[in-house]
Structures are given as structure tokens and as C-alpha cells.
Amino acid sequence: MKTLVLMEHDGVALRSGSGEALGFARAVTEDVTALVLGEGIAAMTAEASKFAPVLAADNAALANSVADRWAHVIAEVARNHNAELVVATSTTWAKDIVGRAAGLLGGAMASDVIGHELEGGELRLRRPMFAGAITATITLKGSPQIITVRSSAYDTPAPAATPFAINAVSVDVDALPSGMELEGVDRRIDARPDVTEARIVVSGGRAFKGSEDYERLVGSLADRLGAATGSSRALVDAGITPNSLQVGQTGKIVAPDLYLALGISGAVQHLAGMKNSRVIAAINRDPDAPIFEFADFGLIGDVYEEVPRLIEQLKSSQ
Amino acid sequence: MSENISDVIIIGAGVAGLSTAMQLAKRGASVRVLEREQIGNGSTGRAAGLLGQLRGTSEHTRMLMDGVKIVKELEELADVEIYVQTGSVRVAETPERAREITDLVKIGRSIEFDIDHITIDELAERMPHMHTDDLIEACWCPTDGHLQPSELALAYHKVGKAHGVAYQTNCPVTGVLLDGDKVTGVQTSQGDFHAPIIVNAAGPWSYLVADLAGTTLPNAALGHVYLTTQPNPDHPVDRLSPGFRNRHHRIYGRPENGGLLVGIYGEDCPEYDMDTLPVDFDMSAMKARLDDIHLAMLIHSAQQRFPWINERTPMHVTTGIMTFTPDGRPFCGQLPGHEGLYHCTGFSGHGIVQSPVIGVIMSELILDGKSSYDIESIEADRYWEVPGFQDRVEIKERCYKMQGSYYGRVEGEISGTS
Amino acid sequence: MKILVPCKRVPDPDQKPRLNADGSNIDDVAVSFILNPFDAIAVEEALRIREVAHPDTEIVAVGICPVDGEAELRTALAMGADRALLVEHAGMSDPWNVARLLAAVVEREQPGLVLMGKQAVDDDSNQTGQFLAALLNWPQATFASQLEFFDGGLRVHRETDLGIEIIRVTLPAVVTADLRLNEPRYASLPSILKAKKKSIEHTTPAELGVALEPRVQLLSMEVVNSQRQCEQVSNAADLLARLREAEVIE
């Protein structure tokens, strides 16, 4: 299967994760070509050429990854190249741009693939549905098949001993759409993220005896992890934390990648606010605390001892 | 207790089952609690927990007051805050409603319950977030407040565990085992469990459990909704601001997490056939549709008393399912035809506050054959073979009417429960 | 201006999905449906656009679902949409065909803006909006967290892995809504009652001139076991190691 792999970059270097798309492609076929778009992309194409022959669309008109222009070029290259498979790692960039390209190429697309099988020439893809509660197995009808893969599901292949060829792709600038412009990117290096947006939430409960302790332990740990802070009802009722930090049924409802429940017993109304978190880790002195029924990892211990240890360990590894 | 044999099996780990388990275990019984889903995650986890101790009868009032004493003990044992003593107010805007309040104050005084009239000015001072211009009567009960449902469940669970209660979650009961008319145990998704005594504390599912035993429990599952406003600096609600009841608009409420919780016992409410819901139905995941008409009614009613609340006010909406009976009183005890099967259900929106004493009552019935409380009005068999209370359609209709009448009746005896 | 808001009917995401007897698809017998939360956000944004600056805006909700699937379109009407159109189609519809049907509706309705959720919470594809923009050859602004009109088009804040990207697009355009764009309103009582009385126009793919061409074939589904098994760790270092393995911390 002639495969085109889109290599995402940030204007400076290839993004980690774009290698995984190559991993998927290699698992399916030998005939893999990388495609890099942008302006001044010599470093990126050189890097990509370690893994596969590269098609480079280097043009001022492609300086910013604007969906209508990029998708147009990607679709054209895929057609000219007779690609049967177009692959990228599933990121917001890929969803936006490769999604549109797929729309230009007939819409046979599967996003966020986490596994596959090749059954007698038929490519079967596994992808999550219902926020990951279901895994669906599908096949795509039509050609090319456009597939985005979850980076955690595949590995970047080993680089080749000698780099592959890099070929330039010409871009017909006049044919490019012009309805979209990039104004800028705000990388948002926030002080502390909002508890409903953060990838990690460090939450404190009844075990903390005052706002100083809370800030010193929960706050510092959160800062080490670039996380948001949260709290159980008990601390809010005691005036130790403000209402805005209460995670629970009538407070904030959060679903971060990691919820660290520190000294929180796990009352039902609190659980209602965080039980959709991807990973829940709990530290509590009471081995019978209900929170342990809902955690993936549990540490029985005093938060006043364990949290400083966590902070120390993170400090030394950072 | 051996592998799957115990003195008592309790079906349902809501406050009713947990309280009963704890009380039985304290008296030395071996107890196993079987919970369909997660502990306290049914009606218990959705409840508002308002405590209005004064009821239509002195016995009922005494039960609730005794319950507060038990709760205070639990707070010590489990190191958790359950009882929030905010006091409560009742407000009236029409002569008929004012008379209800006057009657209530008379009843309260006669049994030495702490209740008094207050002026509208005094009311306004206590409730700056409430619109009071149209009110003509109000009363104040300083010892009322609310019980925090999750924390109460946590305490029952913890103290129960300390006394040896075994809890099994994700364990729906699929059959009741009988030897003639004696119960001998239950079948579940995790195998059979045996006990000569079974307590049906399955809340909205309790009538299905009764069906498994081949008997009819005349209660019904009805939907309920309340909203909780997010903290608003223009309308601050103090953490200890009084709970309230405004029967004319069918609303009640209390402070919650910096905002105001307001619920409704509307003329209409959703009805649920629990057997059509999935076995692992997660009540805590219930959410109101954006165009839920009961919610819209609630908001409309809340707005009459709190004009700053409307459908655009930032708020949380909590929906859940309650277990109603035709007269609003629970079913506690056995039904004829089965030996050893005790029902403990049908709390009609007042499960949280009744649970502390209900646990005592159930343990007394089971271990002593009788209770130290006067339980005539809550006997499980009061509708046994009474025409009009046998068919599921009839039962649902009566329970539905009871819910609608909670704040509806004006003349005569005040509805004993609200 | 006319804003078209595609509204998908989805199984309530807060209840665990269950499969039918042969595991081939979701068991939709006991399912309760709701308006796709991201589409509700899109409806809300359209309402705000009208309220804040563009009082003459007509908001049209369009759904593609079985003939008895009007309830979710009524939700949009109750929130404040002016009209609703139901394209009758039973069974699965993949993003490609949905986009083609929407493109035909766009052809009919001639909106100045299509505002829709970034993805549906059942299949989580996050493709339909992009496909639609490609078919129409319109600019797209996906994962919008903020929208402003300016003379000439829209200025959109987009949520991306790298932070907030700000783009400008000319109109007409397709915008897909992300979670933080707004908080959808509850419908008021009068609005709900008014919406009950509105008639929803029905049409079919044939009437729209679209012959469906499936691109995705569903072979099977599997429920992912979500029961957490708590692993006890013995100390802080152990905990951090486990969390690193789970790829939730660096």
C-alpha cells in the first residue's frame, strides 16, 4: 500500500509523536514516504529522511499551518503520489488539517486509531468511541484511507543507517485558498491552570489542618507538576479553601488525566466530581477510606509525610 | 460470619441499609450488605438532606430529634461533619398558608419543640437573599438544619465496618431464596448468599426486590430535581443561612457550597420503571436535559421567591430518583406470607433525616420482635390486601399524587412529612 | 444572517453504553438520547451572537436521525433556535455522509455561518466539520473557544495542543465548538412550551439529492472494562514510578 505519512512540526523541529505515525505505516506496508510542509523546513526534512524518503513542500505560502492551504497541498500530493494510505499522529493539528484533507480526498477516514490487523489484505482498525468506554473495530471503504493514530499506541521505528532521499514538491501558490490567516499563538504559560482545564489536579481533604499547610503541601506539589489545586468540601466548610476549589457534585466537576486525592476520604458527592478522571491516585492514613475503591493507585500514609517526599523526589528528578 | 452465610443480609447500601447494618452489628449480629452499584451512590448521593424536625405527630418529631443525637455521636466516631445547624424558616404569602404556619407553631409549642413566629423584618435580616415583600407570616426553628448525606453515609459505613459489617459492591440481587415462606438467602451476580433475615433497603429498586420474593410492595420510583446556584457576590448566601420552606411555590432549600440549593415538590414529576433501567445504572450520572420541563418549573418557582435566579443563572442541577409511598410514610417491617424478609424503604424524600432512627427501629424489630418507638404509621403491611393498592399502575398513581400533594394541601392537617 | 447549527442526537454520555446481543453495535433499546453536548454549545453560541450584536440572525437547527428523533431538535428550539429541519435517516451514518447531507442543506438554506460541535460524544470522530468545510470549500475554524465578528469575517481563538491559536477567517465559514466556548443555557418554561408547538420540517437524503456512500464499516464493538483495581504502592517513589508508567506525569 502506497503510504504517505504527514510529519507534524512546530516550525523548528519535528514534533515528538510524528514518529509514531511512521511506526503504524511501517507495520502495514514497506512503501512509506514522509511528507513535510512549511517554510524553511530543511532541518525537519533532514530529520524525517532518517526514516523514509521525504517529499518536501517548502514554500512561503505555507509558512503557517493554516488548514485550507495545507489541506489543499496535502490532498494534491496524495493524488499525484497515488497514495492509498495517508497517515498522521492524532493531534489537534492533524484533526484540523488532515481532517480537511480527508474531506478533499473522499472521506474514508478513521481517527485516533489504537490498534490494527491486516486480515487478507483488509486493514482492520481499532478506535475508541464513547469517550473510550467502547473500542470499535472498523474498516474503511474507498481510497485513499486516511488514518490518524494515537501516539501511545505505536512506536517510532529505528532510524536507518543511511538517510533516504528528499524530493521537493512544487506548490501552485495561485491555486491555494486564501480565506484563512494565522494571527498568532498564545502558548499560555499560566501561573496555575484552572481546575476544570488542567491535565493534573492535586486535591486536598480533611487531613490538612490549615490554609498554610494546604498551600505548603497541596499547593507546592501542584506547582511541581504544573497542576491545578482542588479541595474536598471539608476544607471549604472549615474556611481553609475557597468555594471555587471544591471538587464535587455541587462544585467543580473535573476529568483530568491525573487526579491526586490527598487526605480525602471519598464521600459520594466528592466522587461525583472527579470519578471520570483518567487516573486516580490516593494517599490516606485510613486503609478503609472509600476513596481507595475508586483509585488506580493507593498509598496508605500520612499526607504530612508523603507529600513532602513526593515534592522532594520530583525536585531531584527535574 | 462464614464465606457466604451471615445473620442478616441487607440489600442496598444507601442510608437506610447502612444505618440498619450499623445498628445490627453494634448489637452483635453478623451483617452483610449487598449493593447493586456503589455505596451511597443511589438516592442517598443525590439527596439534599434538609432536616425539618417538626412533623404532624409528636412521635415522628421525637424520632427526628433522636436522630440528631445519633448523628452527633457518629460525627465523633467518624470524625466527619454531618449535621449543619442552620435553623430553618417557613414563609407564607396568603392567609391560608399563614394559618398553616400558625398551626405548626401551636403543635410545636405543645410538644416543647423550639419554634416561634418571627416578623417579616426579622426574616429579611436572616435571609437577605430572599424576596420578602409579599410575605405575611414566617416562623423560625433554630434547631433545624440539614444532614450532609454523603458524610452521613460515610460515617455509617465506617462505624459499621468497625463492628464487622461486610460490604459487597457491584452485586445486584437477582433472586430471593425461599424455603416455603421462610427466606433463606439471595442470588446475586456474585453467587448465592445465605441468611435467615433479609432487609430490603433497595430504595427505588425495592419494589423489584419484593417482586423477586413474589410479593407486592406498594411504593414507586419518582424523579426529583434541585438546583444549586454558584456563588454570586451580588447575592451572597452564608454557609449558615437558614434552610427554608415556601409551600405556596412548592419549594424548599438551604445554603450549599457558597450558593443556594432550591428544590421543588411540583405538581408533576417524572416516573420511573426501574426494571427498564440498566442493572448498573449510575444515579450519580443523571443529568437534566437543557429543556427539562420539571427543571424549568423549578427555576420559575424559585424565581418567585428569589428573583435573582433564572434559567441563565450559573448553577448545578441535581436530578435523582426517590421512593414514594401512597401516604408518604416508609414501609418498615415484614409483609404477611414471608418470614424473615423485612422491608425498609419508601422514605418519600426524607430518607436522610429518618435513617438514624430507622436503623435503630429495624434492629429492634429484627432482634427484639418489637420497637421502642410507636411504629404503627410506618408498618410495612398497612396496605396489605387493601383494594386499590395492589396493581402497579394504581400504586404508581397514588404515589405520584402523594408527591404532588406535599406542598399542595392547604386546609386540614398539614401533610405529615413536609 | 442565517446560522445553521447541525444538532446530533447522541446516547447520554453519562450512562455506560451497552452492546446488543451479538456485540455488533450499541443496544439502543434502553438508551436515553440527548442533544450532543458540543452541539448544545454551538446552539448557545449562535444565540449569543444574536443577542449581543446581530438581532436579525436566524438560527436553524438541523438533525440527521430516524423519523421519531425530533426531541433533540426541540431542545435546540427550546433554547431559542428559530427553525428545525430533520433529515430522516435510520442507522449509522459516518462523517462523510453526514457532511454531504449537511452540504446539501447548506445549498438549500444558504447560511452565512455553520456552527457545530467539534465532535459527537458517541463516535468521537472529530471529522464532520472539517469534511463539510472541504466539500463547501469554506474556511474552517475548529475547536473554537472564542468567537468575534470583525469587518470581513470571524476572529477565532482555537484550543490546540500548543496553546490558543488565533486565526481570522472570511465568511461564510464552518466553525466547530470546543468545550470552553460557552456554557449552554437551560430553556425557560415559556420557551419550552413555545418549542413544543413548533413544527419541525422533515426531508430525506433523496429529496436533498444525496445518494449515501458509506465509508466506514463497523465490524464489532467491545466494552472496555472501566472497573478500577486499586494497586497499593508502598512509598512516594513507587507512586511516582507508577504514575510515570501510566504516562500521566513526566
- Predicted confidence (pLDDT) per residue in B127-172, tens digit: 999 999 999 999 999 999 999 999 999 999 999 999 999 999 999 9
Q: What does each C-alpha distance from C143 to C41, C101, C116, C140, C179 come to in angstroms?
A: 11, 22, 10, 10, 8
Element (H, E) at B126: helix B120-126
- CA atoms in the 13 A half-sphere facing the CB of A256: 28
For A41-95, how does the pLDDT look when each residue is reduced to its tens digit (9 = 90+)? 999 999 999 999 999 999 999 999 999 999 999 999 999 999 999 999 999 999 9
Q: Are A239 and A231 in contact (CB under 8 A)?
A: no
Alpha-carbon distance of A301 to A262, in angstroms, equals 10
Which amino acid is it at A295?
Answer: A
A7 within domain boundaries: yes
Residue A162 sits in the same domain as residue A216:
no
- DSSP structure class, residue B284: G
Q: How far apart are the first and last CA of chain A?
A: 44
Q: Which chains touch C (3 or more CB pairs under 8 A)?
A: A, B
**H/E stretch holding B147:** strand B145-147
Closest CA to B403 of B202, B210, B262, B223: B223
Nearest-angstrom CA–CA distance, A67 and C132: 13
B161 part of contact set with chain C, CB < 8 Å? no
Q: For residues A266 and A164, state if they share a domain.
A: no
Cβ neighbour number for residue A177 with a 10 Å cutoff: 15
Which three-class secondary structure state does DSSP give residue C122?
coil
Q: Are C36 and C89 in contact (CB under 8 A)?
A: no
Which domains, and CATH codes, for chain C? 2-217 (3.40.50.620)
Dist. CA A158–CA A139, nearest whole Å: 28
Q: If you compute the radius of gyration of chain B from its CA atoms, what whole number of angstroms results?
A: 21
A71 & A146 share domain: yes
Chain mean position to CA C104: 18
How far does Cα C199 stand from its chain's mean position? 22
| Of residues B254, B218, B221, B226, the one with CA closest to residue B83 | B254
Shortest CB distance from C18 goes to which of B278, B282, B286?
B278
SS percent in chain C: helix, strand, coil, step 5:
30, 30, 40
**Structural contact between residues A5 and A30, judged by C-beta atoms closer than 8 angstroms:** no
Residue that finishes a domain, picked among A123, A140, A175: A175
The residue written with cell numbers 419554634 in the block is B115
Domains and CATH numbers, chain B: 8-49+149-218+328-398 (3.50.50.60)
Contact B118, B139 (CB under 8 A): yes
Query: Please, which pLDDT band fits residue B417 given cuts at 50, 70 and 90?
Result: very low
Going by the DSSP 8-state scheme, the letter that residue A290 receives in this structure is G
Domain end, chosen from A140, A175, A210, is at A175
Residues of chain A with pLDDT > 90, as a percent, come to 87
Give me the residue from C161, C223, C240 closest to A92, CB to CB. Answer: C161
Q: Residue A165 is part of a domain; what is its CATH number?
A: 3.40.50.620
Coil, strand or helix at B95? helix
Quick one: A150 and A46 in the same domain? yes
C-alpha A242/C-alpha B231 separation (Å) is 10
Q: Which residues of C touch A293 (CB under 8 A)?
A: 228, 230
The reply to whether A250 touches chain B by the CB within 8 Å rule is yes
Q: Are B186 and B198 in contact (CB under 8 A)?
A: yes
A270 interface with B at CB cutoff 8 Å? yes
For residue B148, list chain A residues with Cβ-Cβ distance below 8 A: 233, 269
* pLDDT tier for residue B413 given thresholds of 50, 70 and 90: very low
C-alpha cell at C179: 468545550
pLDDT reported for residue B407 = 87
Report the interhelical angle of A303-317 vs C236-245 (nearest 10°). 60
CA dihedral B374, B378, B380, B386 (to 10 degrees): 110
Nearest CA in chain B to A205: B80
CB–CB contact B290 C75 (8 Å): yes
- The reply to whether A96 and A226 lie within a common domain is no
Contact present, C42 and C116 (Cβ < 8 Å):
yes
Total number of domains in chain A: 2
- The answer on pLDDT for B411 being more than 70 is no
pLDDT tens across the length of chain C (250 residues): 999 999 999 999 888 888 888 888 888 777 889 999 999 999 999 999 999 989 999 999 999 999 989 999 999 999 999 999 999 999 878 999 999 999 999 999 999 999 999 999 999 999 999 999 999 999 999 999 999 999 889 999 999 988 899 999 999 999 999 999 999 999 999 999 999 999 999 999 999 999 999 999 999 999 988 788 999 999 999 999 999 999 899 8
Backbone torsions φ then ψ of A311, nearest 5 degrees? -60, -45
Instruction: Using alpha carbons, select from B189, B128, B201 the residue that is nearest to residue B165.
Output: B201
8 Å CB contact of A103 and C216: no
* A64 occurs within a structural domain: yes
CB pairs under 8 A between B and C: 64
- The C-alpha of C232 sits at a distance from chain B's nearest C-alpha, in angstroms, of 19
Instruction: Say yes or no: A95 contacts chain C, CB-CB below 8 A.
Output: yes
Res A146 pLDDT > 70: yes
State the pLDDT at residue B409: 58
Burial A221-235 (b: 16+ CB within 10 A, else e): bbbbbebbbbbbbbb
- Mutation pick from B46, B281, B291 vs chain C, by most beta carbons of C within 10 Å, is B291
Q: At CA A295, angle to CA A294 and CA A296, rounded to 5?
A: 130
Residue B415 has pLDDT above 60, yes or no: no
Q: Residue A188: pLDDT above 80?
A: no
B-chain CB neighbours of A236 within 8 Å are 257-258
Q: Are residues A171 and A223 in the same domain?
A: no
With b meaning 16 or more CB within 10 Å and e meaning fewer, what string describes B349-387? bbbbbbbbbbbbbbbbbbbeeebebebeebbbebbeeee
- How large is the C-alpha radius of gyration of chain A? 24
DSSP string, C133-195: HHHHT--EEEEEEEEEEETTEEEEEEEETTEEEEEEEESSEEEEE-GGG--PPPPPHHHHHHH
Cell of A145: 484511507
Residue with cell 490498534: A115
Q: Which of A268, A271, A284 to mutate to test the interface with B (most CBs of B within 10 A)?
A: A268
Segment holding A281, helix H or strand E: strand A279-284
Residue A84 lies in a domain: yes
pLDDT band at B72 (very low <50, low <70, confident <90, very high): very high
Q: Which residues in chain B are closer than 8 Å to C12, comparing Cβ atoms?
A: 287
Is residue A29 assigned to a domain? yes
* Of B194 and C225, the one with more pLDDT: B194
Determine phi and psi for C168, rounding to 5 degrees: -120, 135
Helices (H), B277-316: 293-305
Is the same domain home to A156 and A25? yes
Query: Residue A180 falls within a domain, yes or no?
Result: no
Q: Which of A181, A153, A176, A155 is nearest to A65 (CA)?
A: A181
Tell me if C76 sits within 8 A of C43, measured CB to CB.
yes
| Average pLDDT of the residues in A246-267 | 94
CA distances from A125 to A6, A106, A147, C27, C219 (A): 19, 18, 9, 22, 10
Is B154–A265 a contact, with Cβ atoms under 8 angstroms apart? Answer: yes
- pLDDT at residue B212 in the model: 97
At residue B412, the pLDDT reads 40
Contact B70, B356 (CB under 8 A): yes
Chain A residues touching residue C246 (CB < 8 angstroms): 258, 279, 296
- Is pLDDT at A317 greater than 90 in this prediction? no
Query: Is residue A193 assigned to a domain?
Result: no
pLDDT of residue A22 exceeding 50: yes
Confidence of residue A190 (pLDDT cuts 50, 70, 90): low
Residue B49: the pLDDT is 97
Report the 3 state secondary structure along C186-243: CCCHHHHHHHHHCCCEEECHHHHCCCCCCCEEEEEEEECCCCCCCEECCCHHHHHHHH
Reported pTM: 0.94
pLDDT for A194: 83
Half-sphere exposure of B56 (CA within 13 A, CB side): 13
Share of chain B above pLDDT 70, in %: 98
- The answer, yes or no, to whether residue A316 has pLDDT greater than 60, is yes
Cβ-contact C155, C189 below 8 angstroms: no
Confidence at residue B269, expressed as pLDDT on a 0 to 100 scale: 96
Helix (H) / strand (E) element for C72: namely helix C71-79
Characterize B131-169 residue by residue with b for buried, 16 or more Cβ atoms within 10 angstroms of its Cβ, and e for exposed: ebeebebbbbbeebbbbbbbbbbbbbbbbbbebebbbbe
For chain B positions 194-253, those within 8 Å of chain C (CB to CB) are none
- Is A258 domain-assigned? yes
DSSP A146-194: EEEE-GGGS-PPPPPSSPPPEEE----GGGS--SEEEEEEE----SS--
What's the confidence (pLDDT) of residue C137? 98
Chain C contacts of A188, Cβ < 8 Å? 163-164
A147 in contact with C, Cβ within 8 Å: no
CATH number reported for the structural domain that contains residue A295 in this entry = 3.40.50.1220
Structure confidence at residue A11 (pLDDT): 87
Considering only CB atoms, which chain A residues are within 8 Å of B150? Answer: 267-270
Q: Are residues A169 and A241 in the same domain?
A: no
Band the pLDDT of A189: cuts 50, 70, 90.
low
**So what's the ipTM on this one?**
0.95
- Work out whether strand A109-113 and strand A85-89 pair parallel, antiparallel, or are unpaired: unpaired
Cell numbers at A173, concatenated: 501558490
Mutation for B interface: A247, A269, A274, A291, most B CBs within 10 A: A269
Verify that A208 and A306 share a domain, yes or no: yes
Residues 156-175 of A with CB under 8 A from C: none
Task: Please check whether residues A205 and A169 belong to one and the same domain.
Answer: no
Q: Find all residues with CB under 8 Å of B191, minimum gap 6, and list them.
A: B4
Task: Give the three-class secondary structure for C97.
Answer: helix
Contact between chains at C186 and B285 (C-beta distance less than 8 A): no
Same domain, A247 and A156: no
Cβ atoms within 10 Å, residue B183: 24
Is residue A165 domain-shared with residue A260, that is, in the same domain?
A: no
- List pLDDT tens digits, range A214-246: 999 999 999 999 999 999 999 999 999 999 999
**Higher local confidence (pLDDT), B407 or B289:** B289
Q: Is A133 on the interface with C (CB under 8 A)?
A: yes
| Helix or strand holding residue C75 (H, E) | helix C71-79
State the sign of the Cα–Cα–Cα–Cα dihedral B127, B133, B134, B135.
Answer: positive
Chain A CA closest to residue C236: A310
In-domain check, residue A227: yes
Interface test with C, best of A18, A20, A93, A138 (most C CBs within 10 A): A138
Tell whether the model's pLDDT for residue B375 goes beyond 70.
yes
Domain that includes residue A32, residue range: 3-175
Domain boundary among A175, A210, A225: A175
Q: How many CB atoms lie within 10 A of CB A30?
A: 8
